[in-house]
Structure 1
Amino acid sequence: MPEIAEVARVTHYLRQHLTGKTIGNVIAADDANVFGKVGTSGAEFERALKGRKVVTAGSQGKYFWLVMDQPPHPVMHLGMTGWVHIRGEQTAYTRYAERHKDGEEVWPPKYTKFQLETAGAPSVEVAFTDARRFSRIRLVNCPGADIRKHSPLVENGPDPVVDKDRFTEEYLRSKMKSRHVPIKALLLDQAMISGIGNWVGDEIMYQAKLHPEQYSDDFDDADITTLYNAVKYVCDTAVEKLGDSDQFPPDWLFNHRWGKGKKDSAKTLPNGEKLIFITVGGRTSCVVPGVQKKKGRTTLDSAGGTPVAKEEAKESHYFEDKKDIAEKPAKRARIAMTEKEGAKDSKKTPKVPKGSSEPIKKEKVKKEAVEEKSAGDVPALGRRRSTRLLSGV
């Protein structure tokens, strides 16, 4: 999923190629997922941009936008696979590069949601693509300087790179101390901090040498300082390099974390440190146990502890392994059936054996039925904790 660095790259190219130009033509798809879910439509988008001049482009976390010479302004989110292409320009690197046919650029690219062309010569052609349709494109009707004061940006936390005055060590400390969630889940919560996604979150935790499962309110001040510095270092570096992984420092976890599931993957760092993959906050997380030590309580400690601790684990929105979640409905069905059958049996009044003149009292029957059911009880499963981290979409 495109994160703070990828969005910075897109914004860079839009600012470079569209600033000061007038939109001559716009064609937008009638895609209710991309446009409709945020209260607009392809036709409205076309009308709003055609003939308007682009003043600049901006970004906050995973959102980016064009400031037009008059409202409304398009605010966009790349979702999981969205990207912005400029004809004749390689805006993307390997993971997002548009395939070319016989050496020729395919235009418009496949899965285009809108394309626009500037007036005059030379013209600039831009296309927004998204194969999976999780991207969001909306129009925000306000002065250009106030875009961030309106939804969806106003609901999102500060951007570690853009908002240096807002994202302070004290801000991070207050958010960590006021929440009881795995620290990586907090980093990925866009209402807390804008722009950090899965790979950036893993890199931050690795550089800080902290474990992603440890609870946010269980770090001391020294660790919080270390974490804050790691957030700044990773985000600043990734944005400075415009998300070009070929330019990332050689000691970054990013260069080695993509081996999960590959047959020939060594799953180790060059120095021999082992890599493991766990689920934290509903996301697969790459961890180096030899480097990232657990210094306090974690979700796993709580889940296996006392009833109170188990409730803490629920409140932390900790996500269990996907395989475990997938199996639970079937397990619940079996347990429900067992309990139902047991309840049926317990209601039946046993017959008096032939030849026996001793009456069976109702109280005795009830007691024996309860004891029998209790002996065969299956432990109840905890509720599935499937709260999903939102990215402000």
Structure 2
Amino acid sequence: MPEIAEVARIVHFIRKHLLNKTIAKCIALDDANIYGKNLTGATTGAEFQKHLTGRKIIGTGQQGKYFWIILDKAPHPVMHFGMSGWLNFRSEETYYYRKKEGEPDQDWPPKFWKFQLETKAGPGEEIVEAAFVDMRRFARIRLVDCSGDQIRDNSPLVENGPDPVVDKDKVTAEWLKDKCRSKKVPIKAMLLDQANISGIGNWVGDEIMYNAKMHPEQYANTLSDAQIEQLLKSIHYVCSTACNVLGDSEKFPDDWLFKHRWGKGKKDAAKALPNGEKIQFLTVGGRTSAVVPSVQKKTGPVAKEMDETVSDDQKPKKGRATTDTRGTEKSKKRKAKQADPEEATKPQKAKAGKVKTEHAQENGDDPKTNGTAPPRRRSARHKE
């Protein structure tokens, strides 16, 4: 899933290719999933096409995993890439995965496109073509009817926490202390919850935990003031560093866990850092986490210890042995959904014979790869 750095990357290319351009043509497919059915700001392909055609792009912005385009007249498109969305430009390869050697250039329009834009060519200018693509259909596109400077005061952005890069002045030690003290959840789960802080996803969360030398399972409300100060430094360092290089992983520091965390379950996967310290994988907040136990020490209660505590006088439920953990597992899954809003949008596994037609046509997420081992990430090359 594109996280804070990858979204910063696309905002960079919007500024480079679309800023101050007039949209001469917009073609949008009508996909109720993509255009936010039952959500505030929901629209349709036809409405999106109507409101963008002829409009001038005068700005763009980002809050965590959300980004938007400011037009010369409301409403303005606010977008979220979901699991696999991206904004392609015909004139330049912008994706954060590099093509494999020998892989052909992308077709145009690209596969799985949801809308296409074509700009008006001014004197000495070339036409710019862009296309929003999403294979899995977890992306969201909405129209927000307000002035451009009030987009963040409206849904869906107003429900999300501050961006650690854009809102660095808000993500302070006191702010983080208040968050940690009030959250009886694993540290990483707290960071993944977009209602707390925007833009931190699975790999960024792991990098922050590794840099801060903290175990992701430890409960946030057990951290000392010194640990919270270190966590704050790691949040700012990891997020700003990744955004500054536009999510280009070849430019990430060599000592980052990111360089060695991918490929869980594969025979040739890295199981240790170059210095020999072992990498382990465990589930925190419903997501697979890469952890270096020799660096990330537990200094307080962790999720598993807290969840498995049962009082001596607690009676077992009728018909179940006292060792039955099914209730605990359900509780963990419920907490996992709360920890990451995108998790709650995943289609539920349907029972045989009870699948409605429209649900059967949706592209679901693959739980085997969610948050664990995506295809090998290849840094994108881009021209500044």
TM-score range, shorter chain: 0.7 to 0.9
For the residues of structure 1 that align with 2:167 and 2:232, how far apart are their CA atoms? 14
For the residues of structure 1 that align with 2:311 and 2:85, how far apart are their CA atoms? 43
Match of 2:57 in 1: 54
SS of the residue 1:177 aligns to: helix
1:184-220 deviation per Cα after TM superposition (whole angstroms, max 9, x unaligned) = 0000010000000000000000000000000000010
For the residues of structure 2 that align with 1:122 and 1:391, how far apart are their CA atoms? 40
SS of the residue 2:227 aligns to: helix
Matched, 1:78 2:81: yes
Kept in 2, the 8 Å contact 1:259–1:267? The answer is no
| Structure 1 residue 90, shift from structure 2 partner | 1.2
Change over 3 Å in CA distance of 1:215–1:138 after alignment to 2: same
Q: Which of 325, 345, 353 is the matching residue for 1:381?
A: 325
Q: Could you tell me which amino acid in structure 2 is paired with residue 21 of structure 1?
A: K
| Structure 1 residue 377, shift from structure 2 partner | 5.3
Match of 1:68 in 2: 71
Match of 2:108 in 1: 107
Matched, 1:222 2:226: yes
SS of the residue 1:259 aligns to: coil
Matched, 1:130 2:74: no
SS of the residue 2:272 aligns to: coil
Match of 2:47 in 1: 44
Q: Could you tell me which amino acid in structure 1 is paired with residue 143 of structure 2?
A: L
Change over 3 Å in CA distance of 1:290–1:81 after alignment to 2: same
1:235-280 deviation per Cα after TM superposition (whole angstroms, max 9, x unaligned) = 0000000000000000000000003111122400000000000000
SS of the residue 1:279 aligns to: strand
Give matches, 1:1-393, under 5 Å: 1-37=1-37, 38=39, 39-94=42-97, 103-120=104-121, 121-307=125-311, 339=319, 379-383=323-327, 384-385=330-331, 386-387=333-334, 388=337, 389-391=339-341
Match of 1:343 in 2: none
For the residues of structure 2 that align with 1:82 and 1:245, how far apart are their CA atoms? 19
Kept in 2, the 8 Å contact 1:111–1:130? The answer is yes
TM-score (norm 1): 0.80
Displaced runs of 4+ in structure 1, greater than 2 A? 99-105, 303-308, 376-382, 389-393
1:153-199 deviation per Cα after TM superposition (whole angstroms, max 9, x unaligned) = 00000000000221111111100001100000000010000000000
Kept in 2, the 8 Å contact 1:218–1:297? The answer is yes
Q: Could you tell me which amino acid in structure 2 is paired with residue 111 of structure 1?
A: F
| Structure 1 residue 141, shift from structure 2 partner | 0.1
More helix by share: 1
Kept in 1, the 8 Å contact 2:6–2:96? The answer is no
Match of 1:314 in 2: none
For the residues of structure 2 that align with 1:27 and 1:55, how far apart are their CA atoms? 20
TM-score (norm 2): 0.82
| Structure 1 residue 391, shift from structure 2 partner | 3.5
For the residues of structure 1 that align with 2:142 and 2:112, how far apart are their CA atoms? 18
Q: CA RMSD in A?
A: 2.1
Change over 3 Å in CA distance of 1:265–1:88 after alignment to 2: same
For the residues of structure 2 that align with 1:285 and 1:234, how far apart are their CA atoms? 16
1:73-92 deviation per Cα after TM superposition (whole angstroms, max 9, x unaligned) = 00000000001111120111
Kept in 2, the 8 Å contact 1:100–1:106? The answer is no
Kept in 1, the 8 Å contact 2:261–2:270? The answer is no
Q: Which structure has more RCO (C-alpha within 8 Å, separation ≥ 6)? A: 2
Name the stretch that deviates more: 380-389 or 230-239: 380-389
1:260-302 deviation per Cα after TM superposition (whole angstroms, max 9, x unaligned) = 1111224000000000000000000000000000000111222
Q: Could you tell me which amino acid in structure 1 is paired with residue 155 of structure 2?
A: S
**Structure 2, unaligned stretches of length 5 or more?**
346-384
| Structure 1 residue 306, shift from structure 2 partner | 3.4
Change over 3 Å in CA distance of 1:102–1:201 after alignment to 2: closer
- Percent of aligned positions that are identical: 57
Q: Could you tell me which amino acid in structure 2 is paired with residue 76 of structure 1?
A: M
1:62-81 deviation per Cα after TM superposition (whole angstroms, max 9, x unaligned) = 00000000100000000000
**Structure 1, unaligned stretches of length 5 or more?**
311-334, 340-375
For the residues of structure 1 that align with 2:275 and 2:238, how far apart are their CA atoms? 21
Match of 1:364 in 2: none
Change over 3 Å in CA distance of 1:22–1:102 after alignment to 2: same
Aligned length: 328
